[in-house]
Amino acid sequence: MTHNEIVACFPHMANYAYAFKYVCEHGFEVKYLIPPPITKRTLELGARVSPDYVCSPFKYCMGCYLEALELGANCLMQIYGGCRLNYYGELNARILRDMGYEFEFFDMAAVNWKSPKDIIEHFRIINPDINPVKVVQALPVTFRIIEILDEFEDLIRHNVGFEVNDGEFDGTYKEFLGKLENVEDGKELKELEKEYRTRLHGIPLNKPAKTIKVGFVGDYYTVQEPFSNYFMEKELAKFGMEVYRQMNFTNSVIHNQGKKKRKIAKKYAKYPLGATANSTVAEAITFAKEGCAGIIQVKSFGCMPEIDAMPILQNVSRDYHVPILHFSFDSQTSETGVRTRLEAFYDMVEARNGRKA
Ligand code: SF4
pLDDT digits 0-9 by tens, 276-289: 999 999 999 999 99
Residues 262, 87, 26, 74, Cα dihedral to 10°? -160
CB 110 within 8 A of CB 126: no
Q: What's the CA gap between 48 and 63, in Å, rounded? A: 9
Range list of H helices, 160-224: 168-180, 186-201, 220-224
Domain boundaries in the chain?
7-130, 140-207, 209-357
Taking Cα atoms as reference points, which of 292, 329, 324 lies closest to residue 309?
Answer: 324
Per-residue model confidence (pLDDT) at position 353:
80
pLDDT digits 0-9 by tens, 50-84: 998 899 999 999 999 999 999 999 999 999 998 99
Ranges of residues in the chain with a pLDDT under 50 are 356-357
Q: What's the CA gap between 165 and 167, in Å, rounded? A: 6
User: HSE (CB half, 13 Å, CA atoms) of 33?
Assistant: 22
Per-residue model confidence (pLDDT) at position 23:
98
**Which residues, 6+ apart, have CB-to-CB distance to 285 below 8 Å?**
264, 265, 268, 316, 320
300 CA: nearest ligand 1 atom: 3
CB 72 within 8 A of CB 33: yes
183 by Cβ neighbours in 10 Å (0-12 / 13-18 / 19+) ranks as: buried
Taking domain 7-130, whether its CATH number is 3.40.50 is answered by: yes
Q: In what order do the strands lie in the sheet with 75-78?
A: 31-32, 7-9, 75-78, 104-107
**Closest C-alpha residue for ligand 1 atom 2:** 303
Separation of CA 274 from chain center = 17
**Closest C-alpha residue for ligand 1 atom 5:** 85
Q: What's the CA gap between 49 and 296, in Å, rounded? A: 30
- Segment (H or E) for 308: helix 304-320
Taking Cα atoms as reference points, which of 236, 238, 194 lies closest to residue 213?
Answer: 236
**For residue 274, how far is its CA from the centre of ligand 1 (angstroms)?**
9
Could you please report the per-residue DSSP string of 273-295? -STTHHHHHHHHHHHHHTT-SEE
**For residue 295, how far is its CA from the centre of ligand 1 (angstroms)?**
20
277 CA: nearest ligand 1 atom: 1
Whether 305 lines ligand 1, by a CB cut-off of 6 Å, is yes
Whether 303 lines ligand 1, by a CB cut-off of 6 Å, is yes
Residue 37, phi-psi category: left (phi > 0), alpha (psi -120 to 50), beta (remainder):
beta
Q: What's the CA gap between 306 and 285, in Å, rounded? A: 15
Whether 57 lines ligand 1, by a CB cut-off of 6 Å, is yes
Per-residue model confidence (pLDDT) at position 1:
74
Fold of 209-357: Rossmann fold (3.40.50)
Q: What's the CA gap between 13 and 18, in Å, rounded? A: 11
Per-residue model confidence (pLDDT) at position 6:
96
Whether 221 lines ligand 1, by a CB cut-off of 6 Å, is yes
